[in-house]
Amino acid sequence: MPVVSVQHASKSYGPLRVLDDVSFDVYRGQVVVLIGRSGSGKSTMLRCLNGLEGIDAGTVTIDGVAVHAKGTDLRRLRQEVGIVFQHYNLFPHLTVEQNVMLGLTVVKRMKRADAQAVAATTLSQVGLADKRAAFPEQLSGGQQQRVAIARSLAMQPKVMLFDEVTSALDPELKDEVLNVVEALAASGMTMVLVTHEMAFARHVADSVIFMHAGRIHETGPPARIFGEPSTPELRQFITPRTN
Amino acid sequence: MRDFSPFDVVLLLQAARWTVLLSTIAFVGGGLLGAVMTWMRISRSSALRHFARGYILLLQGTPLLMQIFLAYFGLALAGFDISAVVAAGIAFTAYASAFLAEIWRGSIEAIPRPQWEGSVSLGMTRFEQMRYVIVPQALRLALPPTVGFLVQIVKNTSLAAIIGFTDLARAGQLINNVTLMPFPVFGTVAAIYFVLCFPLSLASRALERRLHAGRQRPARV
């Protein structure tokens, strides 16, 4: 059974069709990367996976639970689905450690000492054990994003979603974040990524989905998507501009 | 006619007790009711939202003086036998709750949407989001305007004189009537008001510092 299963998902904002009959599966340990132009629907698709966005038709299932069904316990579901945002969304009034602990103590009702231990483990996993007492604004963008990954990871989700996690970062800060994401992928985490980092997508993905105008325009293993694109839209999208 | 004497200062201080009492009622009552109104104002139920909106519009759009009149004479006509203190207490509670609710709603809505998304994605309920993520940040924003409004309240309690309440301002007026020495009399009155309000401003500054402890700059908003 796939961890994530999207079947015929559609969504419109008024006359604008942002998702148009999208279907794909993500299996345990798999890394699926969504690529495409701005406005192609990839971020919306990702945000539908943990119920941040609704859908008009179709189904999204996470580990057998229909995300958008009436009566679905989203509180429970969201503990299984971690998400990391483009702008980190850290809590500025809390220290790095408190950021990581909050979900554990409040949502998972973990004891303070246990949560602290988990925070210590995950923070060292992202290489920030020495920053536990710092406040987010005292960190670089790359460090903040790694804290956000740790915060998500600490909840021990079954699947992690990454929404353009390096798009807000200066080029020299991207690598430290991508390295963490790559290590997570290597550790067997099931992941869905939206990214504009084509080299990284090619390197880390098991499967690539190219979205265009709300539809899955082309999908396949990275070697084929990047090596032998079969549609002109994808070819144009992945060809580096020469000017 | 007689001179302004230390005895008058004692009279003024006694009258100031009513000012303090009424202000305290307005702070506590207005704060509690204001919190309820804030919650309703941002509730997901549109009926609650509209009710709170109407309540706030009504109280912000009518003079406090009329509210005091209505609370005193209106409630008396409606068959409630209430004293001037209770009537003024009701009026000030309602008045303060409306303004505090608007200040607090504004502060809560000033917290960027990603904070809601980040916390809901951890699986938090709406109450938990408020309690641990939104309100702690909104407090910082709300503190200066809240204290500013409370200081206004202290001074506005003088309006309660209209229903026979002898508060600080009213006592000053009475003493001036018999001494005809406006400068010492109202100077003293003003000084007492200042002594009441200044600690509020001091407390606000101290609290602001505490909320910002460990941080270099105020919250990004």
Interface probe with B: pick from A48, A73, A80, A106, most Cβ of B within 10 Å? A106
Q: pLDDT at position B4, please? A: 86
Q: A114-126 b/e with 16+ CB inside 10 Å = b?
A: ebbebbeebbebb
Q: Find out whether A58 and A101 touch, Cβ atoms under 8 Å.
A: no
Q: Taking CB atoms and an 8 Å cutoff, what residues of chain B touch A93?
A: 136-137, 140, 219
Instruction: Give residue-wise pLDDT tens across range B92-122.
Output: 999 999 999 999 999 999 999 999 999 999 9
Instruction: Give residue-wise pLDDT tens across range A84-127.
Output: 999 999 999 999 999 999 999 999 999 999 999 999 999 999 99
Interface of B with A (CB under 8 A): 114-115, 117-125, 128, 132-133, 136-137, 140, 214-217, 219-220
Task: Please compute the mean of the pLDDT values over residues A62-85 and round it to a whole number.
Answer: 94
Strand order in the sheet with A4-13: A16-26, A4-13, A57-62, A65-66
Q: What is the CA A87 to chain-centroid distance, rounded?
A: 12
Strand order in the sheet with A159-163: A81-84, A159-163, A190-194, A31-36, A207-212, A215-220
CA–CA separation, B9 vs B185, rounded Å? Answer: 8
Q: Chains A and B: how many Cβ contacts under 8 Å?
A: 68
* Predicted confidence (pLDDT) at residue B81 exceeds the cutoff of 90: no
pTM above 0.80, yes or no: yes
Interface probe with A: pick from B44, B113, B115, B122, most Cβ of A within 10 Å? B122
Instruction: Give residue-wise pLDDT tens across range A173-196.
Output: 999 999 999 999 999 999 999 999
Average model confidence (pLDDT) across chain B = 91
Task: Please compute the mean of the pLDDT values over residues B202-211 and round it to a whole number.
Answer: 86
Instruction: Give residue-wise pLDDT tens across range B171-182.
Output: 999 999 999 999
Average model confidence (pLDDT) across chain A = 94
Q: pLDDT at position B88, please? A: 94
pLDDT tier at B218 (50, 70, 90 boundaries)?
very low
- Determine whether the interchain pair A138/B114 forms a contact, defined as Cβ–Cβ distance below 8 Å: no
Q: Which two tokens stand for residue B200?
A: 């509020």
Q: pLDDT at position A1, please? A: 86
* Predicted confidence (pLDDT) at residue B213 exceeds the cutoff of 60: no
For residues B21 and B213, the model is more confident at B21
User: Does A153 reach chain B within 8 Å, measured CB to CB?
Assistant: no
Q: pLDDT at position A243, please? A: 56
User: In chain A, which residue's Cα lies nearest the Cα of B211?
Assistant: A93
Task: Please compute the mean of the pLDDT values over residues A159-173 and round it to a whole number.
Answer: 93
User: In chain B, which residue's Cα lies nearest the Cα of A93?
Assistant: B137
Q: pLDDT at position B221, please? A: 42
Query: In which residue are the tokens 């000033």 written?
Result: B110
Q: pLDDT at position A10, please? A: 96
- Determine whether the interchain pair B124/A92 forms a contact, defined as Cβ–Cβ distance below 8 Å: no
Q: What is the dihedral of CA A168, A171, A172, A173, to 10 degrees?
A: 20
- Determine whether the interchain pair B123/A83 forms a contact, defined as Cβ–Cβ distance below 8 Å: no
* Predicted confidence (pLDDT) at residue B28 exceeds the cutoff of 80: yes
* Predicted confidence (pLDDT) at residue A204 exceeds the cutoff of 80: yes
Q: pLDDT at position B219, please? A: 47
Q: Which two tokens stand for residue B197?
A: 């309000």
Residues 6 or more apart whose Cβ sits within 8 Å of residue A83 = A46, A47, A50, A52, A152, A160, A161, A162, A163, B121
Of B122, B137, B217, which has the smallest distance from its Cβ to A78's Cβ?
B122
- Determine whether the interchain pair A87/B114 forms a contact, defined as Cβ–Cβ distance below 8 Å: yes
Q: Find out whether B41 and B194 touch, Cβ atoms under 8 Å.
A: no
Residues 6 or more apart whose Cβ sits within 8 Å of residue A68 = A48, A51, A54, A55, A59, A60
Q: pLDDT at position B62, please? A: 95
Q: B109-143 b/e with 16+ CB inside 10 Å = b?
A: eebbeebbbbbbbbbbeeebbbebbbbbbbbbbbb
Q: Find out whether B33 and B103 touch, Cβ atoms under 8 Å.
A: no
User: Does A50 reach chain B within 8 Å, measured CB to CB?
Assistant: yes
Instruction: Give residue-wise pLDDT tens across range A29-57.
Output: 999 999 999 989 999 999 999 999 999 99
Residue A149 CA: distances (Å) to CA of A131, A152, B122: 14, 5, 12
* Predicted confidence (pLDDT) at residue A58 exceeds the cutoff of 70: yes
Instruction: Give residue-wise pLDDT tens across range A121-164.
Output: 999 999 999 999 999 999 999 999 999 999 999 999 999 999 99
* Predicted confidence (pLDDT) at residue B214 exceeds the cutoff of 60: no
Task: Please compute the mean of the pLDDT values over residues B38-51 and round it to a whole number.
Answer: 95
Q: Taking CB atoms and an 8 Å cutoff, what residues of chain B touch A165?
A: none
CB atoms within 10 A of CB A86: 18
User: Does A109 reach chain B within 8 Å, measured CB to CB?
Assistant: no
Alpha-helical (H) ranges within chain B are: 6-41, 46-60, 64-69, 75-77, 84-109, 113-120, 126-129, 135-156, 168-179, 182-211
3-state secondary structure of B69: helix
Q: A126 — phi, psi (to 5°)? A: -100, 10
